[in-house]
Chain A
Amino acid sequence: MSSRTLPSRTSNANNRRSNVAAFARRWIPGVYHALASVATSKLWITGVCHALASVATLTWVGDAMAAETPELMFPVPEFSDHPIPTATVPEVQGQIAPLLDVAILFAALCLASYFTLVSRSRRNVLLLTIASLLWFGFWRQGCVCPIGATQNVALAVFDPTYVVPLTVVAFFILPLVFTLFFGRTFCASVCPLGAMQELIAVRSVAVPRWLDHSLGLVAYIYLGAAVIFAATRTGFIICRYDPFIAFFRLGGNADMLIFGSCILLIGVFVGRPYCRYLCPYGAILRVLSCFSKWRLSIPPGTCINCQLCEDACPYGAIHPPTVAQTPAARRRGKRQFGFALLAAPFLVAGFWWLGTTLAVPLAQWHPESRLAEQVRLEELGVAETTTDASDAFRGSPRSVDDLYQSALTRRNDFVTLGGLLGAWTGLVIGFKLIYLSVRRRREDYQADRAGCVSCGRCYWYCPVEKVRLGLISDVSEALPDGRTPGGPLVQLTVGGKKP
């Protein structure tokens, strides 16, 4: 048997690092000074140079990072005497790494809560956001995350044979507890998915509140489906359809990349689309945040109703003061509330029935049910070809009847489970209709308890905050065109707050 000499991965990595460092030391200052003399004369060249220098460096680093020794990745050619590379089992991480993750999560939540509620520092929140994205996203590759942990916990609750790791439980519980005390500080700067969207929300447009509320229902339905699929071991759909996991791991299938790219692209113009309209964990946090003991307040003191913060929030989570209703509007509101109350049970029943009709498609999410369908198609001679799964099944000792029986049992189970998912959907819709018919009174600009992700973007715009920081001596200095609080920007009607 022939042998070959392979450089070790470790030495490759070290070489790469040292090459990068040497490259940086040697060339970057030189390039900088060379460009300086040119750039002083032409401004546009400066910009191009900025980007080209960055891109050239990235190209070189990217190339160095991607260039693995070909032999290491090269599988055994057929019929050859190529020595088989050893499949080594990586060292088990032990208890330290999971504990470290939990400790870092706890520390990040503490910091996020402190930066948001105590120091009120948007800059620190942003830095923590970047750090969380790097650690929980790119370094830990998005796993374990509290969003996905929802499924582990659901499976552990419904299946006693499944032992959920305590780390995963901690990841699920800690953000919930912090939300109960401090609002959605997890979403603010700890969640890597939120962090990704936070950083790209550069040209956000306001989504009308009615649209925001209706699209937000999807997250609750997604939560219900995820729990049911996890509890029945059908699949962990939250993880499977995690939009950013492909980016965190620098690779994924085309569907994942396209889905993630679309979310990111939308996220440039619609702030945090995944958090607001899809995130199932965010759905839980929205509810808990309504009951949080402390939460972000936009001005550190009395609101002067300058309206600046409302425009600053890319997530539509700051609502203006309300005005008093006319008697006719009040009567209409009462009718709407009564109608919503009456409709709720019918919605639950109606969607229950609708859910029961989904037993077949829901059951087919389970790989075994899909296999049973494929095997049945093959048995009937309808399938044009076999699949890897059906070939493997036919090579196993399991009988076809056993497979069918299992699939049929699952389908029957999904009649009930589909009904439950439907009932949950009806319940959520019913609550939403009731919520929409209930009138709330606000006397100044307030962050929405459920929708505010505690990002702290509004701080910079708040004149009262600037006075607190000593940046200005009077709020009028921060208002555009010298407007003063005495001449409010909001023309309040009856019942509004008078200056």
Chain B
Amino acid sequence: MTVETQRQTEFQRRLFSHRSILLSAIVAGVFSTLVGTVLVIDGANRLNKVPLEETTFIQLRQQYLQQSDDNQLRQQIQDLDLALRREYFREQRFTERGAYLLLGGIVVTLVFSKWAATLHRRLPRPKPKLPGPDSDERLSHRGPWAVAAVMLALVGTTWAMKANHPSVLPASLDDLASDQASVGDATPRVEPTKIDPVLPELPSAEVVQANWPSFRGPGGSGISHFQDAPTRWDGPSGEGIVWKTPLPLPGVNSPILWNDRVFLSGATEAVRGVFCFDLNSGEILWNKEFQVDPSIADQKIKVSEDTGYAAPTMATDGRFVFAMFADGLLVALDFSGNEVWTRSLGVPQRNNYGHASSLVTHQGAVIVQFDQGSDDDELSKLMSFDGATGLPIWETTRQTPASWSSPIVIEHEGQHQIITCCDPWVIASSPRDGTELWRANCLDRVEVGPSPVYSDGIVYAGNDTAIYAAIRAGGSGDVTDTHVVWTADYGLPDTCSPLVADEFLLTLASYGTLFCFDKQEGGEPLWEEDFGADFLSSPSLVGDRVYLFGRDGTAWIVQPTRDECKQIAEAQLGEDCVTCPAFADGRILIRGSEHLFCIGSGNDENQ
């Protein structure tokens, strides 16, 4: 054996000797104790420490509320905010690293201890037991006394719990009333501090009606407040076209209109944008672009040719405009194009065609139908955000799969309701807190595309391959058996939303047939008219005329009666069209595949 080999052998013998291993265990144990102690001291120092509750920070914020135009102060807050957050996360990392070290130290201690114990394992040397009572005898003697001690401890615990948990609640609500009378002079309760921002007032219902604030206009009905709209135009020649403006980014959402401004959104895989057009000139007043958040850049956003990255139609509450994109980005801008807030709701999961549900507003809140996934994964949500701040007001989880229908807000017997369609339900929710009011089962196992409409107390909703149902908007719980007035199983839409007029319900199938139902009776259609074109745009009503835009840009203006579909005019846009028009007084705003068109009389200057 060489000296080197002997040296190696001796080293290994010593390295793995019992004393060596035991010493290792002791060193690791001491190390773990030190790390644990440091963590405990550090944790105790940081107990109840919230970075954004630093006195200086709160003072600066208070100061800023009074001097909101002080940019230097704002920068100071921003810097302090950043520093506090950095410090907070530095401390978090310290604890996390310490936890790993402690865990590792304990593992090393245990392994070496076990190793040392195994190397030193010896047989026990029990002493011979002396004659006398066995352990069972002792157990039966001492056991009851020990149990009695436990009973005493339980009684003591009961007393301590009663003493430490007094209740200020009376025995009943009746007693409460008398208590309240007797404590009338007590100190008034503490009201939480609330800072109300100064914001423009919400517009009246009349103003909303005169505009086109969301998908298919006020109430999502597709009905114009105005009685007049052009019937003759020709896109290729420019006849009847007031202006047409090239679109900066592609999209299939429909224009919305507020006073003299038209809003659209568009997006590609790389960029999202919101555009504001002047109604009179068609000039792009501003164009606000949003870059794709790099943190979701690697995530696959599922879209289809029919939806793209900007399918949801924007909405406005008259103070701000809201837009949503296929990656779940929700943005709010003021009418000057300044970003008010943005909020990422996350990339929709397992949504075959891409997110397409349009936004709707109600009393300053923006409502998002965010259906995704399947019916058992609880990914789908209905959400409400404060339009001014973007803060969530409420959020309800829906056990529904992905859907592409848009919500509408109706007022029924003085009560506002959000109506949403999804597989298999038509659901009414309270816009105040999101609680469900009623639901009806009429969309079983379909990919829901058409949005619901409401007229005279009845909600109309349905989808091809399911049924079409007229549901009385009321009740609670499942109203399928009690509130469904009529159903139809023929002439059902698959993409286009229906139009409900005074007498009729019109549904438009994407293969080009318009069906007319008696809105009171339902059942079989009164008539059907085939236009020989594909449709993705929903029908709209101006006065007694129905506007239909085919996918190839051909438009038909018809006048439905009980007996027939009377064709008034046919016009050409000159490019493909899959969106719904917005109506101003005497004008139509329609988005083509490449341009935003304003159709009307060029001499009309009253806009």
Binding site for B on A (CB under 8 A): 1, 3-6, 8, 36, 39-40, 43-44, 46-48, 50-52, 54-55, 58-59, 61-63, 65-68, 70, 72-75, 77-81, 83-89, 91-92, 199-200, 202, 208-211, 213-215, 217-218, 221, 247, 250-251, 254, 257, 261, 307-308, 310-312, 319-323, 325, 329, 333, 336, 340, 347, 351, 354, 357-358, 360-361, 364, 372-373, 376-383, 385-386, 391, 394, 396-397, 401, 404-405, 407-408, 411, 425, 429, 432-433, 436-437, 439-440, 460-461, 478-481, 489-491, 493
Contact with A along B74-88 (1 / 0, CB 8 A): 100110011001100
Q: Given A65-B100, A376-B169, answer yes or no on A1-B291 (Cβ-Cβ < 8 Å).
A: yes
- Cβ contacts under 8 Å, B86 to chain A: 70, 74
Q: Is the CB of A217 within 8 A of B97?
A: no
Shortest distance in angstroms between A388's beta carbon and chain B's nearest beta carbon? 10
Instruction: Please determine whether B140 and A439 come into contact, CB atoms closer than 8 angstroms.
Output: yes
A50 and B8 contacting across the interface, CB-CB below 8 Å: no
A62 touches B100 (CB 8 A): yes
Cβ-defined contact, B296 with A86, below 8 A: yes
Contact at A6–B162, with CB atoms within 8 Å? Answer: no
User: What's the least CB distance linking B132 to chain A, in Å?
Assistant: 7
- Cβ of B134 under 8 Å from chain A: yes
Which 3 pairs of residues, A with B, have the shortest CB-CB distance? A47-B23, A62-B100, A381-B187
Is B328 among interface residues, defined by CB-CB distance under 8 A? yes
Residues of B within 8 A of A47 (CB): 19-24, 26-27
User: Given the complex of chains A and B, what is the CA–CA distance between A214 and B140 in angstroms?
Assistant: 12
Residues of B within 8 A of A404 (CB): 169, 173, 176
**Taking the complex as formed, is B65 at the interface, i.e. its CB lies under 8 A from any CB of chain A?**
no
Contact of B295 among A46, A86, A215 (CB under 8 A): A86
Complex CA gap A333/B143 in Å reads 13
Cα-based distance from A211 to B135 in the complex (angstroms):
13
Q: Is A209 a contact of B143 with CB atoms below 8 Å?
A: yes
Q: How far is the CA of A396 from the CA of B294 in the complex (A)?
A: 36
Q: Is B17 in the interface zone, CB < 8 Å from A?
A: yes
Partner of A3, one of B131, B151, B189, B291: B291
| In the complex with contacts A1-B290, A40-B14, A364-B167 CB distance below 8 A | yes
Given contacts A40-B10, A493-B132, contact A372 B169 (CB under 8 A): yes
How far, in angstroms, from A437 to B144 measured CA to CA in the complex? 8
Could you tell me which residues of chain B, from 376 to 435, have a CB within 8 Å of some CB in chain A?
A: 377, 379, 432-433
**DSSP class of A's interface residues: helix, strand, loop or mixed?**
helix
Which residue of the partner chain, among B74, B132, B189, B294, contacts A5 with CB atoms under 8 Å?
B294
Question: What are the residues of chain B within 8 A of A66 when measuring CB–CB?
Answer: 93, 96-97, 99-100
Q: Can you spell out 8 A-B residue pairs with CB atoms less than 8 angstroms apart?
A: A3-B294, A66-B100, A73-B92, A86-B344, A88-B299, A210-B138, A380-B186, A407-B169
Q: Select which of B15, B147, B158 is within 8 A of A358 by beta carbon.
A: B158
Check A62–B23 contact: CB distance below 8 A. no
Q: Is the CB of A358 within 8 A of B161?
A: yes
| A55: contacting residue among B105, B130, B144, CB under 8 A | B105
> CB-CB contacts of B88-112 with A at 8 A, as 1s and 0s?
0100110111011101110010101
Residues in B with CB closer than 8 Å to A382 are 168
Residue from the set B82, B146, B293 with the largest chain A CB neighbour count within 10 Å: B146
Q: Supply 20 further A-B pairs (C-beta < 8 A) apart from A46-B23, A66-B93, A77-B81.
A: A39-B15, A47-B20, A47-B21, A50-B23, A59-B101, A62-B104, A78-B81, A83-B291, A84-B342, A85-B295, A86-B327, A250-B103, A329-B133, A361-B161, A405-B173, A411-B167, A461-B124, A489-B128, A489-B129, A491-B129
Contact A86 B328 (CB under 8 A): yes
Judging by beta carbons under 8 Å apart, are B85 and A74 in contact? yes
Q: Which residues of B contact A311 (CB under 8 A)?
A: 124, 126
Taking a contact as CB atoms under 8 Å apart, the answer to whether A40 and B183 are in contact is no
Q: How far in angstroms is the closest Cβ of chain B from A301?
A: 19
Nearest Cβ on chain A to B491's Cβ, whole angstroms? 37
Q: Is the CB of A4 within 8 A of B294?
A: yes
Give the interface size class of chain B.
35 or more
User: Does B28 count as interface, using CB distance less than 8 angstroms?
Assistant: yes
A210 to B154, CA, bound (A): 17
Query: B299 to A213, Cβ gap below 8 A?
Result: no
Q: Known contacts A50-B20, A254-B43, A311-B126: does B162 contact A361 (CB below 8 Å)?
A: yes
Residue of B with least CB distance to A216: B150
Q: How many angstroms from the CA of A5 to the CA of B298 in the assembled complex?
A: 12
Of the candidates A59, A351, A386, A429, the one whose C-beta lies within 8 Å of that of B192 is A386
- The interface stretch among B234-242, B345-353, B450-458, B518-526 is B345-353
Contacts of B93 in A (CB 8 A): 66-68
B interface residues, Cβ below 8 angstroms from A: 7-8, 10-11, 14-15, 17, 19-28, 31, 36, 43-44, 47, 74, 77-78, 81-82, 85-86, 89, 92-93, 95-97, 99-101, 103-105, 108, 110, 112-114, 117, 121, 123-126, 128-147, 149-151, 154-155, 158, 161-162, 164-173, 176, 180, 183, 186-190, 192, 290-291, 293-296, 298-299, 327-329, 339, 342-347, 349, 373, 377, 379, 432-433
Question: In angstroms, how far is the closest chain B Cβ from the Cβ of A164?
Answer: 15
Q: Give the docked Cα–Cα distance between A351 and B155 (Å).
A: 9
Name the A residues within 8 Å of B131 (CB-CB): 491, 493
Main secondary structure of the interface of B (DSSP, over half): helix
Residues of the A chain whose Cβ atoms lie less than 8 Å from the Cβ of B161: 358, 361
Bound-state Cα–Cα, A361 to B165, Å:
5
CB neighbours of A67 from chain B (8 A) = 93, 97
Cα–Cα, bound, A113→B324 (Å)? 57
Of B101, B121, B147, B192, the most chain A CB neighbours within 10 A belong to B147
- Cα–Cα distance between A218 and B172 once the two chains are bound (Å): 34
Chain B residues lying within 8 Å of A385, measured Cβ to Cβ, are 190
Most buried by B among A89, A199, A432: A89
List of A residues within 8 angstroms of B183 by Cβ: 380-381
Query: Would you call A378 and B190 a contact (CB within 8 A)?
Result: yes
Q: A1-B291, A83-B293 are in contact. Are A54 and B28 (CB under 8 A)?
A: yes
- Of A8, A75, A407, A480, which is within 8 A of B123 by CB? A480
Give every chain B residue within 8 A of A439 (Cβ-Cβ). 136, 140
Whether the pair B346, A87 counts as a contact (CB closer than 8 A) is: yes
A43: nearest residue on chain B (CB-CB)?
Answer: B14
B-chain residues with CB within 8 Å of residue A217 when the two chains form the complex: 147, 150
B110 touches A433 (CB 8 A): no
Contact A377 B168 (CB under 8 A): yes
Query: Given B25, B125, B142, B192, which contacts A208 in the complex, CB threshold below 8 Å?
Result: B142
Cβ of A493: which chain B residues have Cβ within 8 Å of it?
A: 131-132
User: Which residue of the partner chain, among A50, A329, A364, A372, contacts B165 with CB atoms under 8 Å?
Assistant: A364
CB contacts (< 8 Å) of A461 on chain B: these are 123-124
Q: Which of A215, A320, A394, A440 contacts B129, CB < 8 Å?
A: A320
Residue of A nearest to B79 (CB): A77
User: Given the interface contacts A323-B134, A364-B167, does A40 sit within 8 Å of B124 by beta carbon?
Assistant: no
Per the bound structure, the CA–CA distance linking A89 and B56 in Å amounts to 36
Contact of B373 among A92, A325, A429 (CB under 8 A): A92
Q: B residues within 8 A CB of A321?
A: 134
Residues of A within 8 A of B21 (CB): 47, 50
Residues in A neighbouring B100, C-beta threshold 8 A? 58, 61-63, 65-66, 250
Q: Are B339 and A1 in contact (CB under 8 A)?
A: yes
Residues of B within 8 A of A91 (CB): 349
Which of B130, B138, B293 touches A85 (beta carbons < 8 Å)? B293
A86 to B168, CA, bound (A): 45
Which single residue of chain B is at the shortest CB-CB distance from A435? B143
With both chains docked as a complex, state the minimum distance between the C-beta of B494 and any C-beta of chain A, in angstroms. Answer: 28
Q: Chain B contacts of A211 at CB under 8 A?
A: 146
Q: Which residues of B contact A40 (CB under 8 A)?
A: 7, 10-11, 14
Q: Chain A contacts of B168 at CB under 8 A?
A: 373, 376-377, 380, 382
Asked if A213 and B143 make an inter-chain contact with CB atoms under 8 angstroms apart, the answer reads yes
- With a cutoff of 8 Å between Cβ atoms, the chain A residues found around residue B89 in the complex are 70, 73-74
Known A-B contacts A59-B101, A62-B100; the reply to A397 vs B108 at CB < 8 A is no
Contacts A86-B346, A319-B136 given; does A360 touch B162 at CB 8 Å: yes
CA gap between A77 and B82 in the complex, in Å: 6
